[in-house]
Amino acid sequence: MAFPPKLTLYFSPKACSLASHIALEESRLLYEAVSVDIRAQENMSPAYLKINPSGAVPALGIGDAVLTESHAILTYIADLAPESGLLPRPGTLARVRAHEWMNWISGTMHVTYRSIFRSQTYAGDEPHAIAAVREHAKKKLAKVLREVEDRLGTSDYAVGGQFSVVDAYLFVFYTWSFDERIQTKLPDRPRYAALAERVFARPAVRRVLARERAVRAYELPPSFAQALSEAQ
């Protein structure tokens, strides 16, 4: 395989693939970003199912290989561009803290959102079961957001005292916490908000948001939307 390999990111606007998209832009690696809009069901096209048979994004083409799972993709990008400092050095406690975060984000936080937005995934088709899963997940989301707040402590970033792919991953789920489908009061999250503001201020993040929102102009948290309109 050529080095560095040809990289192709398959993303859907505002999906969890936003974290990988930000990581690639921050890494300064050359890559192509290909939109596979889930809302338009482009992820279920035969062409995309050939790339990722599960139909999920993100998927990262690496030469002829395809890597899936945000945690793996984020780790790969950070390790391919070590000078970008997108993850702490292997063998450090900060490094495994990053993996601890990413595993928790994928396995707990993302799953909680999915239980609200796509309750059928867990409840099946029975309306009472769907409503029960959704209501339970909303309570769980409040708990999850409090846990983020506790875990962040007083540091500016999630790990290692500097921006990392973990912050990009957390940023995605901060934006999701404003989704109108949640329809419930969520706990205040000042530390998480401050971290998201720091991430949002990064030029690479602005470039990615502009690229994704050119595909579909998705909603952003009110303070971000205001900052973008003032910048125009």
CA torsion sign, 20 to 23 to 25 to 29?
negative
Among 33, 38, 145, 159, binds ligand GSH (CB under 6 A): 38
Question: Does residue 197 belong to the site contacting ligand GSH (CB under 6 A)?
Answer: no
Question: Does residue 133 belong to the site contacting ligand GSH (CB under 6 A)?
Answer: no
Measured between alpha carbons, how far is 220 from 11 in angstroms, rounded to an integer? 17
Closest approach of Cβ 217 to ligand GSH, in Å?
18
Question: Does residue 35 belong to the site contacting ligand GSH (CB under 6 A)?
Answer: no
CA torsion sign, 209 to 210 to 215 to 220?
positive
Q: Name, in order, each residue with C-beta under 8 angstroms of 187's C-beta and a sequence gap of 6 or more.
A: 142, 145, 146, 149
Among 9, 51, 57, 87, binds ligand GSH (CB under 6 A): 57
Closest approach of Cβ 15 to ligand GSH, in Å?
4
Question: Does residue 56 belong to the site contacting ligand GSH (CB under 6 A)?
Answer: yes
**Secondary structure of residue 232 in the 3-state scheme:** coil
Question: Does residue 19 belong to the site contacting ligand GSH (CB under 6 A)?
Answer: no
Question: Does residue 15 belong to the site contacting ligand GSH (CB under 6 A)?
Answer: yes
Measured between alpha carbons, how far is 77 from 62 in angstroms, rounded to an integer? 10
Question: Does residue 106 belong to the site contacting ligand GSH (CB under 6 A)?
Answer: yes
Closest approach of Cβ 154 to ligand GSH, in Å?
28
Question: Does residue 43 belong to the site contacting ligand GSH (CB under 6 A)?
Answer: yes
Q: Specify the residue for token string 């062409």.
A: 47
Question: Does residue 70 belong to the site contacting ligand GSH (CB under 6 A)?
Answer: yes
Q: Specify the residue for token string 């390790």.
A: 79
Question: Does residue 42 belong to the site contacting ligand GSH (CB under 6 A)?
Answer: no
- 98 burial class (0-12, 13-18, 19+ CB within 10 angstroms)? buried
Give the binding site for ligand GSH (CB under 6 A): 15-16, 38, 43, 55-58, 69-70, 106
